[in-house]
Chain A
């Protein structure tokens, strides 16, 4: 039996994700996209550091044997927030969000493929085809058909 409040919590997390990105983008209009990334990581770090004492008792940090490159994810995160703050005011929250998701899924699939972890080649191929066609139709915004409004 899947607890309903977990489903609501995961769905609600989606709202939080969009909200931070929009707030970041709003700040980015004043201090540049990269500037908003500085604040995002600085404030996020401080807040997480405040929460850590509750967590660290159960799971003390042991970084022995962790490959060095795994510490560099934060650099990509910085570029990610900066890029998002820069494009979101230009193309809107919806387009920015679905394109970000598409990019993540496609790169994730490539990494899985390299590691030989594709479980179903058939559905993965159809999925990628849907993603690419979705990205592709977005690139033709100036076509007359886009005048159709709902």
Chain B
């Protein structure tokens, strides 16, 4: 996905590529949803879900804009990728640990820490060299 969207943005621009990917994604996910859930309605809406949870896509769009800015700055693709990976991992641990945003509170096991370290080290090694 990153590769295809990256190639597309090389041909157009990162913002256009994201806009196109989102547009195609609407149809892709809608067909999947309609087919998998065999729903009678035309949109996956239910009043029991918190209203704000429908708007994750706004942040998703902002992520593209910010990534666009940092990748084109002096820290480049490698710097951006490493910091984004680091940020994601650290904040995921915090969200799990604190049980924020309605996540189930989880105890952090030694094994989890070991897994995070191994995967983080492997990822950064490949990204950097």
Name A's B-contacting residues (CB within 8 A): 1-3, 6-7, 9-24, 26-27, 29-32, 34-49, 51-52, 55, 59, 61-63, 65-67, 69-82, 89, 92-99, 101-102, 104-105, 107-109, 111, 119-120, 123-124, 126-131, 133-135, 137-138, 140-141, 143, 145-150
Contact = CB atoms under 8 A, between A and B. Distances in A.
Interface of B: 1-5, 7-8, 11-13, 15-30, 32-33, 36-37, 43-46, 48-50, 52-67, 69-70, 73-75, 79-80, 83-93, 95-96, 101-104, 106-123, 125-129
Contacts of B109: 146-150
Task: Describe B's contact surface by its main secondary structure.
Answer: helix
A52 B110 CA distance: 46
Contacts of B69: 6, 9
Task: Describe A's contact surface by its main secondary structure.
Answer: helix
B48 A30 contact: yes
A20 B127 CA distance: 24
A7 B83 contact: yes
Nearest to B69: A9
Given A47-B57, A48-B64, A18 B88 contact: yes
A30 B46 CA distance: 7
